[in-house]
Amino acid sequence: MAPGDLEQALLGLQFESDERILTGMGNSEDAAIVRFPAGKALVQTLDFFTPIVNDPYRFGQIAAANSLSDVYAMGGSPYVAMNIVCFPIATMDASVLREILRGGLHKVQEAGALLVGGHSIQDKEIKYGLSVSGIVDPENYATNAGLRPGDALILTKPIGSGVLATAIKGQWEGSEGFEEEVFRWASRLNRVPGEAVAKFGLRAATDITGFGLGGHALEMATASDCSIRIDVLSVPLMDHALDLARVGLLPLGSHANKHFCHKTVEASAGLDPVLLDLMYDAQTSGGMLLGVPGAQAADVLAWMRERGEMAVQIGIVEPPRLDGKRLSLC
């Protein structure tokens, strides 16, 4: 993207000065130098995607929240971030890009991190996200492989953003309300669940994104060499998600998730098949799935709810099964 185009898009955005930044965006540097806290380990992640809502400012917030989430899922704190931008500057007004970047900047600032630069290219399709570096206590972090039999499984956002985003893209009747619901949840930082990981010394967590709840739960069960039992009826759903799924508005990624998982998943007879499909719905900036030792579950639930966070126990962790099944949907 030409320098003038980018300057126009950045016009009016307020970037913070901070003593942690030794060199940054002010002098058109090619890289940023940032002080690193002593005694901490580095968490690095990267994610970007195409718009799932129509409003560019909201899209910027959702994409940034999604990118920041992987740091929280390990119990870390976002420290610095850099923009990743693909934009059709020749055919679309720079004000659209400015709103996307403004949304991303505000979400990075809400996370207490520093936006220190980025990279942009011209593309026929809009894509936006962040490369994020976070900090974490090297003696206290969570991974996919930390589940143990007896752990409670706690989910922190409802399921259904894939279905609602499909309806928004298809301009389905009521799409404005669907966009409000997606924005309400997908723009919400996973900060509080991430703080719970650090505060309670949790060893198992992941965020729910493109593989859906079923896919990410299966990843955790496999990595931890255990099995997971999820009470499907206890899983919270976004408003309208079940109705939209009933008329077939499941994204292709959701069908792919179900097909990939089916050999190691057991579903109880009699469960609503559409509800089961939603367990594989491809999420954008979904909540976190926490593995919490049973004795701590009530305390973790209460602590998060006191801070205004959704926190619902949806299942338990069990020993590995002899038949090789890793996930039971009941």
Span 134-165, pLDDT tens digits: 999 999 999 999 999 999 999 999 999 999 99
Cα(234)–Cα(41) distance, rounded to whole angstroms?
Answer: 36
Q: How much is the mean pLDDT over the chain?
A: 93
Residue 204, C-beta contacts closer than 8 angstroms, at least 6 positions apart: 142, 143, 144, 145, 146, 147, 148, 151, 220, 224, 290, 291
Cα(90)–Cα(259) distance, rounded to whole angstroms?
Answer: 40
Least confident of 62-66, 239-243, 253-257, 265-269: 253-257
Give the per-residue pLDDT at 21: 79
Give the model confidence (pLDDT) of 70-97 as tens digits.
Answer: 999 999 999 999 999 999 999 999 999 9
Cα(219)–Cα(34) distance, rounded to whole angstroms?
Answer: 34
Which ranges of the chain does DSSP label H, i.e. alpha helix?
A: 3-10, 56-72, 94-110, 161-169, 175-186, 191-200, 212-224, 241-246, 252-261, 273-278, 297-306
Cα(75)–Cα(126) distance, rounded to whole angstroms?
Answer: 31
Q: In the predicted model, is pLDDT for residue 3 greater than 90?
A: no
Q: In the predicted model, is pLDDT for residue 27 greater than 70?
A: no
Q: Measure the CA angle with vertex 10, ends 4 and 13; round to 5°.
A: 155
Residue 86 has φ and ψ, to the nearest 5°, of -120, 130
Q: In the predicted model, is pLDDT for residue 171 greater than 70?
A: yes
Give the per-residue pLDDT at 227: 98
Give the per-residue pLDDT at 33: 87
What is the DSSP pairing of strand 227-230 with strand 327-329? parallel
Cα(273)–Cα(52) distance, rounded to whole angstroms?
Answer: 25
Residue 279, C-beta contacts closer than 8 angstroms, at least 6 positions apart: 159, 212, 213, 214, 230, 232, 235, 329
Least confident of 15-24, 36-45, 290-299, 304-313: 15-24
Q: What pTM did the predictor assign?
A: 0.92
Residue 108 has φ and ψ, to the nearest 5°, of -60, -45
Q: Please report, for the chain, the start and end positions of each structural domain, with discontinuous segments joined by +.
A: 3-136, 144-329
Confidence band, pLDDT 50/70/90 cuts, at residue 8:
low
What is the DSSP pairing of strand 33-34 with strand 21-23? antiparallel
CATH superfamily, with its number, for domain 144-329: PurM-like C-terminal domain (3.90.650.10)
What is the DSSP pairing of strand 312-318 with strand 114-122? unpaired
Give the model confidence (pLDDT) of 224-253 as tens digits.
Answer: 999 999 999 999 999 999 999 999 998 888
Structurally, what CATH architecture does the domain formed by 3-136 represent? 2-Layer Sandwich (3.30)
62 neighbors 183 (Cβ within 8 angstroms): yes
